[in-house]
Amino acid sequence: MKFEGNAHVYGKNTDTDVIIPAACLKLDDKKEMSKHAMEGIDPQFTKRVRDGDIVIGGENFGCGSSREQAPMVLSMKGIGAVVAPSYASIFKNNSVEGGYLYPLICKEEIKASMGDRIRIDTNKHILENLTNGSSYEIEPLTEKEEILLKNKGLIEYTKKLIRERK
């Protein structure tokens, strides 16, 4: 997979309540809900974000709630990949199970500012910051992520599982 877009940079422990505040979960209109993405810490995010943009997060990205709406609203606003040194497990699972975005891991500290141009090639395991010329190694996808990609997501994988059992 290849991604190229502008960076949106956040710190460690970026939690699900700032990605999408709980009060917004009352909304049934997902498009309306997505207008509140990142509202808690970055009210300008939804105005600035473009299709294909990339979120660069810190340690333990997505900590907190089970709400699948967290990766969903990022994806709806055009984010194709998040890159962070580590993720809270539920956020990472939700990202791939629902097929919303790629939660990529980069153990090195990425030097990037808001708006820097970022290019990622998951096959070559490389992230480049085209603005400042730095580049970083991205970890390979996990076994679970590879299985889900091959099976077109958790829903299709589960359907196969049920059919096999019958």
Partner 1 sequence: MAMTITEKILAYNSGLEEVKPGDLVSPEVSVFLTHDVLGPDVADIFNRDFKEEFGKVWNNKRIVVTPDHFIPCCDVNVANRMVRLRKFVKEQNIVNFYPEGIHGVCHEMLAQEGFDLPGYVIVGTDSHTDTGGAHGLFSTGIGTTAGACVAASGVYPLLEVPESMKLTYDNKLPEGSYSKDLILKTLGEIGAKGALKKAMEFEGKAIEYLSLDQRRTICNMAVEGSAINGIIAPDEKVEYYVANAPKHKGLPKPKYFKSDKDANYSKILEFDAGQIEPQVSVNYLPADAVPVTKVEGQKVDQAFIGSCTNGKWEDMETAADYLEGRKVSKGTRLIIIPATQKIWYRALEEGLLDTFYKAGASVSTPTCGPCLGGHMGVLGKGERCISSSNRNFRGRMGDSESFVYLASPATVAVSAVEGKIADPRRYL
Token pair belonging to 151: 């099976």
Q: Which residue in 63, 82, 83, 104 binds partner 1 (CB under 8 A)? A: 63
Half-sphere exposure of 18 (CA within 13 A, CB side): 15
Residues ≥6 apart with Cβ < 8 Å to 109? 85
Site for partner 1 in 87-106 (CB under 8 A): 88-90, 93-94, 97-98
Does 44 engage in binding with partner 1 (CB under 8 A)?
no
Does position 76 bind partner 1 by CB under 8 A?
A: no
Of positions 68, 77, 118, 120, contacts partner 1 by CB under 8 A: 68
**Nearest partner of 55 among 81, 88, 18, judged by Cα:** 81
Q: What radius of gyration do the chain's Cα atoms show?
A: 16
Binding residues vs partner 1 (CB under 8 A): 12-13, 15-18, 21-23, 25-28, 39-41, 59-60, 63-68, 86, 88-90, 93-94, 97-98, 142-144, 147-148, 153-155, 157-159, 161-162, 165
